[in-house]
Structure 1
């Protein structure tokens, strides 16, 4: 899991706003001074809502010699509350904030679409749910007045329900089910910014590792071990009330966001590509391809502003390492029959509108529009004719929607007031693909619906520099 730690740490630290005084070489309009220096120290309580997607690799032998490798991917909405405490101290880098936070979440994350049917003889259905979870985490971040960029890590726990149902050689289906609370760890990053008074808003990504589990599925037709890795990606926005905080804080005049900008970004992506393999028509396996990896690219845009409201257009292009080369369905060893997938999303791009509201020099925005990208699917098949590789490539269009926070940025005082940083979440839907081929000596069709969750941070250079407040 090293790459998850690296990705979330880079996303959090990369989204840090200004951490040193702005260079004076480039003139800009100075915003009105604050009534008091913003201090993050103190208790807070709040609520949050978002979405989650699992990537729970499962290995199972429904028949002797048959080795399925698949991803169960519970997905859905979530919401809950959090409580925490911050301590702010000064350092050579600027104000550093240390904190502790605990949260509890209700969740509707579920996946019951995985059905594996070998030669029509034995149908195995997999269902998994995460109905609640919680975390207790430490936080450390860099503060620039009323904007805090942070990384977070700690303990995680949650309730996981898994059910496997088999039907075929017998009068009625047989079922195996487990329902247990598991513990593990969590790591993530986010950005939090003041909204005025004691209120703050945040956007964050958490990666939950709830451990591995091995269950003996005894009640099934063919008793066997089921090995599952419980992993969840959480994307959420939150609202906090700071108890005894800067109640006299009022945002400075809105920054000037108008004009062209150009920048780059880096982040991570997680796919839940609902897929199917049909052989001879009625014999169909339905399953998920669980892509994950890193993304990076460039963006350009233009903003128009009316008072605090900001309207914009942005286009970006991304290179990606998103891949799933673990999924194997059909026989996977039984009688030498198998279909092992290697699915990738090597690049994608978006053209989006943005609608935002500037609270001082912090821009909160929603975004949505066109998405497009390259979809590649390789299937390594094995049958009585021996191993054969099937390769398919498509460029699809679809849609995207998301939200983010953008703030001033100055890397250790090396960048001037024209620079900003943003942290954002995007949901990308690239539609479906369908490909036909010959499996052994019979016709087969594979389909794939491509949906990705993206969490990324970026820096922008504004050719018409925004107003930057001094703290």
Structure 2
């Protein structure tokens, strides 16, 4: 009996497959960020009875700072829902001291030294990728100086408060680290400065474009390593976003000239087509896009309000190279190349009215994040979504208004933040979470 029992086959032990943990955004995080800011501060200056100048002060420059926040992840009908709070503080060097009117007799300088926000965030997570909206409280330090002749009237540093709204995408880089690209619109309210019986009313609005790096404290950053996506092949898609211009302009001759900004602002939308090649995690390719645009500035009126502008950019397009690195199925990329667009300006003055339409060309550069896209299970693995920032420089355009007696020159620059979806004919690998 004992021998027979010993001869029985021994049953192999049962080994459980390791449990793969789902990426969980819950927990505290701290981080840093850097980017650029562009103001669109409409200034209405009542200089004297019947003499009112309307222009845009557009402080522009670099910014950087830090953020701290907390996320909580839960389930919803739309998938894993992430809600949270974030606060940030930014040092900034945003300034504009170029604007001058009345033949240089009156000039303006405006600067934003710092700003801070306290915001809520809400987004949908797909594993280690979070697409989110954000909004809340904003505050910033604004200083405006008006110089008339040899006398400067300084408003002093003034802390303004208001609100902010924006969106972004954040993705895991490995371990507890994540990277993000984000756009914020700040409305810091209105301010009025009075001096020598004059008033200057300024609406303070800022567009913030930035990238950030976060370190997550707590939560679960472990997940099944996603296979590197197969980005090779053709793709076709559409996009939508917003754009702001800082078109530095000069009008008039010699002592009868003025310097100001045409501050076009509006929405953009269009389509793109491209092709990617891939070598290991590195992805390089070509992309072309064409955009319709609602950008317009019909507020600017210089020479004491005698010369009014209506400037538009109805459409533009780009042809760009892309170079990126795929972390799992998330592609981080830089992009740059050729840009072109239609610049339209209508000028109304005592000389009459004239409309100018030109196709300008130049260059563009930017960066973005592209990830697999799902919408309630309605789209398949061929789809991706992307969020990107582009800077466009379309060069300078000139015109000789009023038979050459009133020349105008404008340098056309654009800041674009947009989100798009792409259909890949050779579908990327989509990891399951």
In which range does the TM-score fall when normalised by the shorter chain? over 0.9
Map 1:363-442 → 2, pairs under 5 A? 363-382=331-350, 388-438=352-402
> What SS does the aligned partner of 1:62 have?
strand
Residue 382 (structure 1) shift: 2.3
For 1:128 and 1:350, the matched residues in 2 are separated by 33
Task: Note if contact 1:152-1:188 (Cα within 8 Å) is conserved in structure 2.
Answer: yes
> What SS does the aligned partner of 1:314 have?
strand
1:454 aligns with 2:416: yes
The corresponding residue for 2:276 is 303
Residue 244 (structure 1) shift: 2.1
The corresponding residue for 1:292 is 265
Task: Note if contact 1:198-1:245 (Cα within 8 Å) is conserved in structure 2.
Answer: no
The corresponding residue for 2:111 is 129
Task: Note if contact 2:23-2:221 (Cα within 8 Å) is conserved in structure 1.
Answer: no
For 1:187 and 1:217, the matched residues in 2 are separated by 34
The corresponding residue for 1:142 is 124
1:166 aligns with 2:148: yes
The corresponding residue for 2:165 is 187
Larger Rg: 2
- TM-score scaled by length of structure 2: 0.94
Which runs of 4 or more aligned residues in structure 1 lie more than 6 Å from their structure 2 counterparts after TM superposition?
Answer: none
For 1:437 and 1:153, the matched residues in 2 are separated by 44
Residue 247 (structure 1) shift: 4.9
- Larger relative contact order (C-alpha < 8 A, sep ≥ 6)? 1
The corresponding residue for 1:93 is 78
- TM-score scaled by length of structure 1: 0.86
Residue 63 (structure 1) shift: 2.9
The corresponding residue for 1:47 is 32
The corresponding residue for 1:354 is 322
For 1:34 and 1:322, the matched residues in 2 are separated by 52
Residue 34 (structure 1) shift: 8.7
For 1:92 and 1:82, the matched residues in 2 are separated by 30
Task: Note if contact 1:251-1:359 (Cα within 8 Å) is conserved in structure 2.
Answer: no
Residue 175 (structure 1) shift: 2.8
Task: Note if contact 1:195-1:251 (Cα within 8 Å) is conserved in structure 2.
Answer: no
The corresponding residue for 2:297 is 324
For 2:367 and 2:124, the matched residues in 1 are separated by 22
1:251–1:276 Cα change, 3 Å: farther
Q: Describe the superposition over 1:317-360 as per-residue Cα deviations: whole angstroms up to 9, x where unpaired.
A: 0000110000000131xxxxx11000000000000000000011
For 1:295 and 1:247, the matched residues in 2 are separated by 36
For 1:135 and 1:423, the matched residues in 2 are separated by 22
For 2:58 and 2:154, the matched residues in 1 are separated by 19
The corresponding residue for 2:12 is none
Residue 410 (structure 1) shift: 1.9
Task: Note if contact 1:176-1:217 (Cα within 8 Å) is conserved in structure 2.
Answer: no
For 1:448 and 1:327, the matched residues in 2 are separated by 14
Unaligned residue ranges in structure 2 (runs of 5+): 1-17
For 2:151 and 2:43, the matched residues in 1 are separated by 21
Task: Note if contact 2:26-2:218 (Cα within 8 Å) is conserved in structure 1.
Answer: no
The corresponding residue for 1:315 is 288
The corresponding residue for 1:73 is 58
For 1:251 and 1:204, the matched residues in 2 are separated by 25
For 1:393 and 1:67, the matched residues in 2 are separated by 28
Unaligned residue ranges in structure 1 (runs of 5+): 1-32, 333-337
Q: Describe the superposition over 1:299-334 as per-residue Cα deviations: whole angstroms up to 9, x where unpaired.
A: 0000000110000100000000110000000131xx
RMSD (CA atoms): 1.4
For 2:402 and 2:304, the matched residues in 1 are separated by 16
For 1:179 and 1:346, the matched residues in 2 are separated by 38
Residue 251 (structure 1) shift: 3.9
